[in-house]
Each structure stands twice: as structure tokens, then as C-alpha cells.
């Protein structure tokens, strides 16, 4: 069986291939211009290279993998990301099944879930001080908002423990 393709079809395929090559060349060109502009601005100190680095410095870091243990840190980050994703997904599925089976629990949890869903997700993360190391740390939130902070709990416990029933001026309240 002979496979014959019409001239119009061949022209169409050739035109489509040419356009896909043009798109790829344009994408690579934009990337090269972006990297060159970034490097130029960092070299001329127009942008702060300490904050934004520069492509040449990033390339040097990747070349010197063994010196800075970058692969080890990438591995730890990937491991923590995957484990966190699996734990979050697993808990989400378990909670969804429980809410699906129990209409009562679903109705009880609904307003809380609506409120949690409307909150910015950044506000739902806890501070690093909550990882069991918070006894001797200070609350350095740097503008982040935390729902739970162990320092707030310690201060609350101190206030409740040491309240004397009087204000700063010594007057009973």
C-alpha cells in the first residue's frame, strides 16, 4: 500500500513545522535576552545582586555541587515536600470520608471549614517556634501572621498564673 500525501497536505505540514520551530526559537531567544539583561543589570549594580543574585553566580553554584552540598539540600527539600504532600493528602482524604459518612459531623464542621477556606493560606501556617523548640525562643514573626504561637501561650499562662487582681496603679479590679 502506497502512502500518498497531497501537495496541499505537505505544504500544510511544512508550514506547521516551520511555525513550531519559530515558536521554539522565539522562546529560547526571550530566555537568552532575559538572562543577559539580568546579568548585565547585576554586573552594573543596577539591581542588588545579593538579593537577586546573577546567572553567572547561580551557574557557579551549580558547577560546585560538591563544595556546597547543594544536592543534599535539594534532596531534603524534595523529601519534605513529598512527605508533607502525602500527609496532607492522606489527612484530607480521611477527613473528607468521615464528613461524607456522617451528615451530623459535616453540618457541625461546615461553618468552620467555610471560615478556614476564606482565610489566606499563609495565615494557616504555624511559626517555626512551634516545633518543640519554643521554650527559649522569641516570637520573631517578621510580618507573618500565625494562628498559634507558643510564646503567646506562655505569656497567657504567666498572666493567668501571676494575676493579682489589681492593675499597674495598685487599684483592685
Q: Work out the angle at residue 152's Cα, subtended by the Cα atoms of residues 95 and 137, and round it to the nearest 5 degrees.
A: 105
Instruction: Say what the pLDDT of residue 148 is.
Output: 47
Instruction: Say what the pLDDT of residue 133 is.
Output: 47
| pLDDT band at residue 123 under the 50/70/90 scheme | confident
The CA–CA distances, whole Å, from 135 to 34, 41, 141 equal 47, 45, 16
The pLDDT tens digits of the residues spanning 56-112 come to 998 888 888 767 787 888 899 999 999 999 999 999 999 999 999 999 999 999 999
Q: Is the dihedral of CA 76, 77, 81, 82 positive or negative?
A: negative
139: its cell numbers: 516570637
Q: Tell me the whole-structure pTM to 2 decimals.
A: 0.42
Amino acid at each position: 500500500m502506497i502512502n500518498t500525501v497531497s501537495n496541499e497536505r505537505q505544504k500544510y505540514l511544512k508550514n506547521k513545522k516551520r511555525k513550531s520551530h519559530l515558536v521554539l526559537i522565539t522562546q529560547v531567544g526571550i530566555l537568552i535576552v532575559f538572562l543577559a539583561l539580568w546579568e548585565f543589570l547585576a554586573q552594573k549594580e543596577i539591581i542588588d545582586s545579593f538579593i537577586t543574585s546573577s546567572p553567572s553566580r547561580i551557574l557557579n553554584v551549580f558547577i560546585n555541587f560538591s563544595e556546597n552540598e547543594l544536592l543534599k539540600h535539594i534532596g531534603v527539600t524534595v523529601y519534605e515536600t513529598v512527605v508533607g504532600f502525602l500527609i496532607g493528602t492522606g489527612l484530607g482524604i480521611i477527613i473528607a470520608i468521615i464528613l461524607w459518612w456522617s451528615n451530623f459531623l459535616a453540618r457541625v464542621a461546615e461553618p468552620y471549614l467555610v471560615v478556614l477556606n476564606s482565610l489566606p493560606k499563609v495565615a494557616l501556617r504555624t511559626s517555626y517556634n512551634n516545633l518543640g523548640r519554643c521554650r527559649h525562643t522569641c516570637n520573631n514573626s517578621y510580618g507573618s501572621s500565625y494562628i498559634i504561637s507558643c510564646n503567646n501561650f506562655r505569656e497567657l499562662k504567666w498572666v493567668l498564673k501571676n494575676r493579682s487582681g489589681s492593675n499597674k496603679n495598685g487599684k483592685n479590679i
